[in-house]
């Protein structure tokens, strides 16, 4: 499995943190974006996309688990760091907030979100 991810540059000061969740080379391909604030211990995702490629930035501490071709992979994102992931169609993904407070993820997808005909299939991997 070749889970594609990279550590993002995070600027932190007394006001909080700033990072760029998606690069200019990917931003124009996107047809959906959403921001998720997760409570302590919450797991998000547990699905894969049929057609869409998803780019996701996650602020740690968090655990990201993926499944591709039946193989499970995990990445632990340390406190105060942000990682960007690229989930190809068919790659299951789940994200768990490991902190004692709300954490953040920003996601972008190459397909339009249609609640009546979603591009996601449930796959409980965490």
What CA–CA distance (Å, rounded) separates 2 from 126? 19
pLDDT for position 25: 87
Average pLDDT over residues 90-100: 97
Count how many Cα atoms sit within 13 Å of the Cα of residue 126 in the half-sphere of its side chain.
25
Indicate if the pLDDT at residue 33 is higher than 90: yes
Q: Which tokens sit at 121?
A: 């299939």
What CA–CA distance (Å, rounded) separates 40 from 3? 25
Q: Which residues contact 69 (CB under 8 A, 6 or more apart)?
A: 1
Contact 82, 18 (CB under 8 A): no
**pTM given for the model:** 0.93
Indicate if the pLDDT at residue 112 is higher than 90: yes
Count how many Cα atoms sit within 13 Å of the Cα of residue 107 in the half-sphere of its side chain.
21
Structural domains of the chain in order of their starting residue, each with its CATH number: 1-10+32-96+116-126 (2.60.120.10)
Confidence band for 71, pLDDT divided at 50, 70 and 90: very high
């Amino acid at each position: 499995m070749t889970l594609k991810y990279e550590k993002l540059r995070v600027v932190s000061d007394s006001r909080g943190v700033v990072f760029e969740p998606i690069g200019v080379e990917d931003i124009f391909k996107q047809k959906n974006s959403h921001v998720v604030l997760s409570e302590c211990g919450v797991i998000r995702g547990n699905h894969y996309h049929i057609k869409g490629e998803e780019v996701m930035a996650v602020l740690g501490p968090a655990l990201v688990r993926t499944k591709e071709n039946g193989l499970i992979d995990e990445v632990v994102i340390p406190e105060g760091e942000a990682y960007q992931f690229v989930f190809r169609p068919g790659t299951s993904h789940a994200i768990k907030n490991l902190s004692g407070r709300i954490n953040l993820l920003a996601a972008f997808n190459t397909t339009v979100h249609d609640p009546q005909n979603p591009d996601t299939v449930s796959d409980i991997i965490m």
